[in-house]
Amino acid sequence: MESLSNSPTVSNITLMTVKIGMMADPRLKKWYSQVNGTDADRKVHVAVMESESFLSESSDLSYLYNEMSKIRDLDVIDQFKFTFNRFMIPYERLLIQSLEIAEVLNGKVINIVPLEERLQKLAKTPQKGVKRFMRIRNDPSETLFDQAVVDFALISMQAIVAGGNIPCTKIYAAYFRQFMFHYPAISVASMDYFTTYPKRLIMPFKALKDLFFITEYMAGLGSYFEMEELGKSDYSCALIQTTSFGFEYASSNVQQFGAFLVGPFINDNHIANEIDHLKQLAGTSNEVSNKWTETSGYEGFFEWVDEQQDIMLMILGSTMVLDDNIMAKLIKGLQIALQENPNISIITAFGHINMDLFEKLAQTNAPLVQSVLNNKRFKLLKGFVPQKALMSIEKVKIFFTHCGANSVNEALYFGKLLIGFPYAFDQWKVAHTIEEFQLGRAIYKSREESMVWKSESISQAIHELLYNEEKRELYKTKARHTKSLMRRSGGVKRAAEIVEMVSEVDGDLSWKIADKHLTWWQYYCLDIVLVYSFLMYLVVKLACLLCCNRRKVKKE
């Protein structure tokens, strides 16, 4: 949004969210209140959708954490079902209720259709000369938006904007949506399902499992779109992929010219702002009180960093909810890691709920917790954590992560090695990929393994990545290569250029599909394979007949 605001061709960027979403980034409150100092900032707006049936207040964070804690023991498909039913479906319905399509002819609005009534009241193709825009319902400004930028998880919105012939861009943070039998995106966790037998033979059944889930999910969304419109969104919208660990290359999506691999949404200004904020938190700025700095763990932060040799940064994400047993094993693992690796230091940051568990453990097992807290090579941070600023510290060598796609992308952007500690959803897949691409180690890679992991495994992973003479150079080289790939992909600046391009061509991306004139069997060259296979069969058959005739002549 910041990058787009600097474009002379863009006059308004508005983010649709709910109140709890305002906590995701401090800039959102500035844009919402319009307390800013630059003309570029005045282009950026935040529209907050009000709803009594959906998370709307910050106090609902406790409800959110409580709900997320329920998914730990579920199958991956059931985790997706739970999350979509609890959060995504209500959120999409709220979006549908808040938006409408406006048809404009010769600069005048001639028709307005709420998204809820689109299928009944809006023609699939606009009349000649008519252009369609998105509009926020009951918005006094009546701003017309000539493009919709949609997150990959908002399935109905993808279909609606594509079906309504609204110029669109889809952003994928983890993996491309793909229902083809060779690429079940949800159920399959590792690359060996694509190439290794007998796992490859299981692939069709995994794909069917994905397909049944998506069908069930779409039914739950309601009759606001058609299945063909969802498919249309894959070629009528530009596709921006923030990263790829290789899974997407098994997908036909990236064979289209409209799929752009841009790397993480990070830019130098954002990093600089976070570093400034970290300095404020550390008390090197007068903007933060010394009392808060002392209690948050940031006091003397940079002096502490200077004294360390190698640092592991542990941030487990805002939605990863541990339990008492896992917290105890985790702290025990940190204790062992500090004892067995004298050159490693650890920075740890827990979210609100996990911090409560940590403090509870400090009461029930004080010797364990105090042994870690009293170690001079351990630092516990509380409250807001400027993750990118911490990642930019050269001495941070390892990122201990819950394997969320965005966090992993950021770590690789800064050239860090990874220790995976997955929790749910696609995180199991990311944990597998971390090891497959030799970018780090995973403490466990499946729900079954997560029940039996040992505290010692954290120390073992640290030793292998940094202090194993035979392996550390390999890991270091892989991290360096990935860092270069991430930084040369274009990032948020490239993503902004793609969004601009879509608006400039009025959403007409028909030129980008190289295979648009091919049928599915032509696309996969099955007709060519069939013809040449038949010719080979005829040659072999003819050769057999000639041999048989010669033998018959000799016998006679």
Q: Tens place of pLDDT for every residue, the chain, 556 residues?
A: 878 888 888 888 898 888 777 777 777 777 776 655 555 557 888 888 877 656 544 445 566 666 666 677 777 777 778 888 878 888 899 999 999 999 999 999 999 999 999 999 999 899 999 999 999 998 888 899 999 999 888 889 999 999 999 999 998 875 545 444 445 566 766 666 766 788 778 777 777 777 777 777 777 777 888 888 888 888 888 888 887 554 444 344 444 556 788 888 887 888 888 898 888 888 755 454 454 445 678 888 999 999 999 999 999 866 677 888 999 999 999 999 999 999 999 999 987 778 888 889 999 999 999 999 999 999 999 877 889 999 999 999 999 999 888 888 889 999 999 999 988 777 888 888 888 889 999 999 888 888 889 999 999 999 999 999 999 999 999 999 989 888 888 888 888 999 999 888 888 877 655 555 667 677 778 889 999 999 999 999 898 888 887 766 666 6
| b/e per residue 131-163 (b: at least 16 CB within 10 A) | bbbbbbeeeeeeeebbbbbbebbbbbbbbbbbb
Structure tokens at 213: 């889930």
Q: Looking at residue 247, what is its pLDDT?
A: 45
Tell me, what DSSP letter sits at residue 49? P
Q: Looking at residue 254, what is its pLDDT?
A: 46
Q: Looking at residue 492, what is its pLDDT?
A: 86
Q: Looking at residue 207, what is its pLDDT?
A: 74
The tally of CA atoms less than 13 A away on the side-chain side of residue 9 is 13
Structure tokens at 237: 């919208």
| β-sheet with 168-172: strand ranges across | 148-151, 168-172, 238-241, 259-261
CA pair distance 551, 193, nearest whole angstrom: 49
Q: Please report, for residues 50, 86, 94, 352, 375, the alpha-carbon distance to residue 54 in angstroms, rounded to integers and kept in the order given.
A: 8, 9, 8, 21, 44
Q: What angle do CA 384, 289, 350 make, to 5 degrees?
A: 20
In sequence order, what are the beta bridge partners of 440? 418
Q: What angle do CA 520, 221, 217 make, to 5 degrees?
A: 60
Q: Looking at residue 199, what is its pLDDT?
A: 78
Q: Looking at residue 41, what is its pLDDT?
A: 59
Q: What angle do CA 341, 347, 350 make, to 5 degrees?
A: 125
Peptide bond into 198 cis (omega under 30): yes
Structure tokens at 132: 């369609």
| β-sheet with 108-114: strand ranges across | 108-114, 99-105, 131-136
Structural element, H or E, at residue 136: strand 131-136
Is residue 439 within 8 A of residue 412, CB to CB? The reply is: yes
In which region does residue 438 sit, left (phi positive, over 0), alpha (psi from -120 to 50) or beta (all else)? Answer: left
| b/e per residue 264-285 (b: at least 16 CB within 10 A) | bbbeeebbebbbebbbbbbbbe
Q: For CA atoms 123, 129, 133, 139, give the dihedral sign.
A: negative
Structure tokens at 129: 């000369």
Q: Looking at residue 57, what is its pLDDT?
A: 46
CA pair distance 402, 381, nearest whole angstrom: 17
Structure tokens at 546: 């000639």
Domain range annotation of the chain? 49-261, 268-488, 524-555
Contacts of 323 (CB under 8 A, 6+ apart): 69, 72, 357
CA pair distance 416, 439, nearest whole angstrom: 8
Q: What share of the chain is helix, strand, coil (3-state, %, to 5)?
A: 55, 15, 35
Tell me, what DSSP letter sits at residue 464? I
Is residue 239 within 8 A of residue 176, CB to CB? The reply is: yes
Q: Looking at residue 348, what is its pLDDT?
A: 93
- Report residue 357: phi and psi, to 5°: -65, -40
Q: Looking at residue 255, what is its pLDDT?
A: 46
CA pair distance 97, 116, nearest whole angstrom: 7
In 10 A of CB 381, how many CB atoms?
A: 20
Pairing of strands 440-442, 148-151: unpaired
Q: Looking at residue 60, what is its pLDDT?
A: 55
pTM of the model: 0.80
CA pair distance 358, 382, nearest whole angstrom: 12
CA pair distance 438, 309, nearest whole angstrom: 23
CATH topology of domain 268-488: Rossmann fold (3.40.50)
* Calculated CA dihedral for residues 447, 85, 221, 403, nearest 10 degrees: -40
Contacts of 184 (CB under 8 A, 6+ apart): 203, 206, 207, 209, 210
CA pair distance 404, 392, nearest whole angstrom: 19
CA pair distance 243, 176, nearest whole angstrom: 10
The DSSP result for 208-271, as a single string, is HHHHHHHHHHHHHH-SSS-HHHHHHHHHHSEEEES--SSGGGGSGGGGSTTEEE---S--HHHH
Nearest CA among 374, 376, 322 for reference residue 350 = 322
Q: Residue type at 493?
A: K
In 10 A of CB 17, how many CB atoms?
A: 17
